[in-house]
Structure 1
Amino acid sequence: MTLISILVGTLVAGIGSVWLAALLANALLSRFTQHLLSLAAGALLATAFTRLLPEAFELSVEAGVSAQALFAALLVGLVFFFLLDKAELWHHGHEHGNEPAHDHGSHTHHAHEDHHGHDHLSGGWAVLLGDSVHAFGDGILIAAAFVADPRLGVAAALAVMAHEVPHHVGDLVVLRQTLNNPRAALFKLSLAGGVTAIGGVMGYLLVGALHEYLPFFLVVAASSFIYVALADLIPQLQKHLSPRETAAQVAWLFAGIALVAMLGEWAQH
């Protein structure tokens, strides 16, 4: 039953986020992309600090793991994802998520490709590779959450989906330019999103075999969410806005936090 839940959760997070992004892009609703960034940042931070970390510390008592060890794992996790980011393996394709929000994003991308003499095709494969690696990691983290508590897994899957949607909007823009075929772009990005399910199965087997280390898996998942929110999403929101736009941004941020809080209330009933 847990494995089925993991498969459903990872497919919703991985492929569902791609199709929702396509819906936003095709329906000319890209203005909501920035709102989704704020919503995702709030959801990721709330899931990490109010769901994953508390659950990890509760399980650590049963497993005899010290709080110091968990905080050390949190630190190592943050550094690890920073190094992956540096290696352009964790958020490589997500850099294009800035494009819908910034007028200069696409020009910067093309200038970068022209400078290195790469054609558009190489840029498209870079996006797919980056998304596939990231999706596999997300699958493992979602699986760890489901093994700990199915309702915690649901929260993690929804948080992952929320932060993937705005980035996939940018990815679709890049892929449509490189492939000159909207359907092929959607299909290939969906395949990359489907890698989340493969990561989920691997995570289920790995976490199941090392159940005593589940608190550490949850802490690593939390470090991923925190890193994505602080290093990837919030910097995109740090720009000069009118008071009305700033209020909307803050409102969507708190909406993401409230969404996780409501999930937490639902989990208690």
Structure 2
Amino acid sequence: MSTLTWIITASLLGGILSLLFAAILALNARVSWLSMLVSYAIGALLGAAFLNTLPEALEHSDDPKQITLIVLLGILVFFILEKLVLWRHCHLEDCEAHDLSHAPVAAVSSAAGHHDHDHGRSGMMVIVGDTFHNFVDGILIAAAFMVDVQLGIVTSIAIIAHEIPQEAGDFIILLNSGYTRRMAFLMNLLSSFATLVGGVLAYFMLHNMNFLVQPLLAIASASMIYVAMSDLIPGLHKRPEIHATIQQVTLILLGIASIWIMGGFFPHD
């Protein structure tokens, strides 16, 4: 397949698969399933970042220090952006409740009958934010495929893995905001097409600006590392029991191993 075909296939398949799995999880409201998936997603994200995306960016760069600097700055930028989101939704004197690291699990927990809330996030605002997030994912997928197929595939797997719990959380938030199940599914489906738009646009733009591919791979690494370490891992600490910890570590290792094994199936171009 051509590079563009890989990008289109990964973007469409990734969006549809993550949405279908998210809908199944959300409608069944199985908190345990979502908690397990979050652990696996952490491993997939860290595996893709440290075993594939970052090494590839360093390998194709004339200045490795510049790549690591971009990763460092990327993590800082993601931190600032998340702070702005928290500030935007902060209820001034009730800000301590804004724990985004466990938002998907909290949303499903709410649907299962446990006390929780969406911290004032309306359904439409969630969709707008998710659409932008999906658009950026499409750009990162395109940048990875334009280096080689193996990198594109493992990057796509990592993105899909962390999108499933996120989409499930968004799905429940839409239901809690008054949307019907059909409308919530359709809105999430439309939002997922932003991945395809971002991927295709990036493909044509990066052909004329090849110098942006390595920085984008570095930003992709920063994104994966930040999401895993800042948004997902803190939620696991809410279950400090030894059996839960063993399960979490096992699933994280499984996520890393799956990325490593998947990379072995596809030789570098």
Unaligned 5+ segments in structure 2 are 90-98
How many angstroms apart in 2 are the aligned matches of 1:97 and 1:25? 9
Per the normalisation by structure 1, the TM-score is: 0.86
Written as runs of structure 1 = structure 2, the 5 A alignment for 1:232-243 is 232-243=231-242
2:127 aligns to what? 128
Contact 2:127–2:187 under 8 Å retained in 1: yes
Per the normalisation by structure 2, the TM-score is: 0.86
Question: In the alignment, which of 73, 78, 101 is matched to residue 76 of structure 1?
Answer: 73
1:86 aligns to what? 83
1:43 aligns to what? 44
Q: CA deviation at 1:4?
A: 1.5
Unaligned 5+ segments in structure 1 are 114-121
Written as runs of structure 1 = structure 2, the 5 A alignment for 1:49-198 is 49-60=50-61, 65-88=62-85, 95=100, 96-100=103-107, 107-109=115-117, 112-113=119-120, 123-198=122-197
Q: CA deviation at 1:158?
A: 0.9
How many angstroms apart in 2 are the aligned matches of 1:146 and 1:2? 6
How many angstroms apart in 2 are the aligned matches of 1:149 and 1:208? 14
How many angstroms apart in 2 are the aligned matches of 1:70 and 1:158? 23
Give the aligned residue type for 2:63: S
1:117 aligns to what? none
How many angstroms apart in 2 are the aligned matches of 1:34 and 1:7? 30
Contact 2:29–2:109 under 8 Å retained in 1: no
Contact 2:138–2:197 under 8 Å retained in 1: yes
Contact 1:44–1:160 under 8 Å retained in 2: yes
How many angstroms apart in 2 are the aligned matches of 1:162 and 1:22? 14
Q: CA deviation at 1:108?
A: 4.7
Secondary structure of 1:159's counterpart equals helix
Question: In percent, how many aligned pairs have the same letter?
Answer: 37
Written as runs of structure 1 = structure 2, the 5 A alignment for 1:217-228 is 217-228=216-227
Q: CA deviation at 1:176?
A: 1.1
How many angstroms apart in 1 are the aligned matches of 2:227 and 2:205? 23
How many angstroms apart in 1 are the aligned matches of 2:8 and 2:180? 29
Q: Report how many residues are paired.
A: 253
1:253 aligns to what? 252
More helix by share: 1
Deviates more, 1:247-256 or 1:172-181: 172-181
Secondary structure of 1:179's counterpart equals coil
1:155–1:26 Cα change, 3 Å: same
How many angstroms apart in 2 are the aligned matches of 1:106 and 1:213? 46
